[in-house]
Chain A
Amino acid sequence: MDHTLKKTSKLTKRNRIIAYTFLLPNLLGFFVFIFFPVIASFFMSFTSWNGFGKIEFVGLENFIDLAQDKGFRISFVNTLLFTLISVPITLFLAIVVAVLLNKGVKFIKIFRTAVFLPYVTAPVAVAVVWQLIFNPSMGPINGFLSSVGIDNPPGWLSSPDWSLISVSIVFIWHNIGYYMIIYLAGLQNVPDSLYEAADIDGAGPIVKFFKITIPMLSPVIFFTSIIALIQSFKVFDFVYVLTEGGPGRSTNVLVYSIVNTAFERYEYGYASAMALILFLVILVISYIQFQGQKKWVNY
């Protein structure tokens, strides 16, 4: 008994040394240049700092103000809605595309590049094109809709009811290629023999998709679901180039608000408090995912 304990602790010690040796190059830079600034910005959320001079500690004042801030509530709800719309759709479409483009298709490289192109293209350039496409009076989408007899086509980016959905569409379109790549990489590790066995059993493509592909990809799906969640909670670029938060405040998402507060209003402390809330929300959701992964992720 005693002997095994000693052995494990010795092993632990050895593993620790090895682990930290492996981690060292990254951990060092990470702590100094990433982790430390993050902690510093959290600290700022308890101050009324404006980016200059002395730092005045204000306790929980920023958080109390946030609780009553209507603008913050609006952007918070917008962010949640945006995430609910964009994350599931993006991930689902990406996995479907990855499976379709995994193998057995002619010109596969060209198709993959095509799907990846939106991700490469700079948001500014993309924004112009989508604004034309979404143009309520002259754009091709509404042109098509009215030609099939829809009298009152949506106003897309210029309607407060549709603007968030429109931004989500562009966001999804832009990101499918990104997740496709990750899934494609994951699919390379799924042994062909599994599919061959299923073929012998006569399983169709849908059965194979749900019974083989999804379980085998689960570590990667877990990874992408966290990344996608973080990405959509932190959405900023597309809002900035497509709508600037408008019309009204209909697409004013959290990070847009944060950036505004920090760099337009110069209330850096308050902006940090908003970021801390954002962080906690993502953290809680990811934590639930981390706990939940034990049930569905297949290592």
Chain B
Amino acid sequence: MILKKIIVVMSAIILLLGLVAGCGAENESGGASENNTTTGSESGSEGTTSDSESQKPEEVTIRAAVFPGDEETFKIAYEDFKKQYPHINVEIDSFPIDKYYEKLRLELGGGSGYDVFAGQIDSMVDSDMLLPLDDLINENNTDVSGYGTLYDSMRVNGDVVGLPYRKSNWMMFYNKDLFDAKGVDYPSDDMTWDDFRELAKQMTSGEGVDKIYGAYFPHWAQAWYLPAVQTGATIIDKDLTPFKDALQYRMDLESDGSIMSWTESKSTKTSGGSYFQKGTLAMNIYGDWLVASLRKAEEEGKLSFDWDVAPIPHPEDVAKNTSLALPVTLMINKETEQQQAAFEFVQFMTGEQGAEHFASSGILTGYMSDKVKEAYIGDGSQKPENIQYFLETKEYSEYPMLPGVRNVIIKTIFVPEGELALIGQQTIDETIEIITERVQDEWADEFEGLYKLGN
């Protein structure tokens, strides 16, 4: 009898819910009419590329997908964009970062897709959905000088297929209070990895809950192979010898006990970002986006220590301030019906004005100019004090941005094989040998030669 009642009640609730929520189907594309209020009177004041505006363009709506971490900045920058391009409405969506490409590719493949999307070129280029931008860049007289050498790395098989809005470079973050407490000098801008190892040992103390680690590397393959790439090697080289030293280095640090072991970091799902904020870590090797989160934490009063940044250490015979980076770009769907509008948006976000927004939130941008640099360094009221280092960094790409490199080589070869070495199941020589072999079998035989970077 109770069951019957449950069913009756359930059905009643469903009816109600159905009426109230209307199942959401009707709010599918209502965005177009919402933003009709035009505030375009001031658009002339700072517009640099106003050719297209003179013909009273029709109102259009485009959709953009961006990384969840960048959504907020995009939305702030969009308000600026709106002032200049009142006729272009942009709906900005984002998906959980783990499943970002999975969802994005499904949407694009299903045909209900986006006009503009953010991401790394290598994860999208095989889709054959990327609009070559060269013609649009010419027609619009887009200023590409600000991208520097990065511009050429946006070319796949000769076409520019995206414009970078972020560089995502590696930095070292350090906890000033811990150094002060020990009476140790802050890390300099010119440390070799050997210096760093000594310093990490010196800064390590305590056990269990009171453990303070001298340093932390995320449990990503990039974090252990980083010293090798600093010397100019790449993970698709036929000879991976430099990677032996890199792997050995991480093992040495682990056996010193001055960094959290790979296994522990992975099994406690530690993230370098939140771990550093706890204040029990002296030096953190991490990405530039941590600047923004640290600033935010500080604003919310959650940070109990002082901090700063320095360039990551370098191998013996490599110049100081050499780092790794991985450009994040905006790309355009080649099937979009709003090419021009989509391009205006991309141009704005990746160009000087968008870059200023990103830079002022602590992100190192793809586009650089004096104005952007100024925004990045700030007026000195914001931490970190030494952020200017990163304007002069020499960067190598974290990996060659070809299809399959990240997803096949890093995720399914470097990570598991490196892991076996780090837990002592495989010697370093064996590991690098297996990696070399597997890269050939599982990647090179299939992907190599299909796509070419540059012209």
Contact = CB atoms under 8 A, between A and B. Distances in A.
A249 interface: yes
Interface in A241-284: 244-249, 252, 260, 263-266
B128 interface: yes
B267 A246 contact: no
A7 B423 CA distance: 74
B75 interface: no
Contacts of A135: 264, 267
B34 interface: no
B407 A51 contact: no
A52 B419 contact: no
B102 A263 contact: yes
A125 B406 CA distance: 28
Contacts of A51: 105-106, 109, 127
A159 interface: yes
Interface in B88-126: 101-102, 105-106, 108-109, 126
B415 A266 contact: no
A261 B42 CA distance: 51
B340 interface: no
A50 interface: yes
B108 A247 contact: no
Nearest to B102: A263
Nearest to B263: A158
Interface in A35-94: 50-53, 71
A158 B267 contact: yes
A194 interface: no
B111 to A, nearest CB: 10
A294 B438 CA distance: 48
* Chain B: number of interface residues, binned into ranges: 20 to 34
Interface string A129-167: 001101110100000000000000001011110000000
A266 B106 CA distance: 11
A51 B403 CA distance: 14
B69 interface: no
A265 B419 contact: no
A209 B44 CA distance: 86
A128 interface: yes
Given A51-B106, A131-B268, A246 B416 contact: yes
Contacts of A249: 416
A134 B105 CA distance: 37
Nearest to B106: A51
B129 A263 contact: no
A131 B267 contact: yes
B297 interface: no
A52 B125 CA distance: 11
Contacts of B356: none
Given A71-B442, A128-B269, A265-B404, A52 B127 contact: yes
Interface of A: 50-53, 71, 128, 131-132, 134-136, 138, 155, 157-160, 244-249, 252, 260, 263-266
Interface of B: 101-102, 105-106, 108-109, 126-129, 208, 263-264, 266-269, 403-404, 407-408, 411-412, 415-417, 419-420, 423, 425-426, 442
The list of the 5 closest CB pairs from A to B, nearest first, reads A264-B407, A131-B267, A248-B420, A158-B263, A51-B109
17 contacts: A50-B127, A51-B109, A51-B127, A52-B105, A52-B129, A53-B128, A71-B412, A71-B442, A128-B268, A135-B264, A135-B267, A159-B423, A247-B423, A247-B425, A264-B411, A265-B404, A266-B403
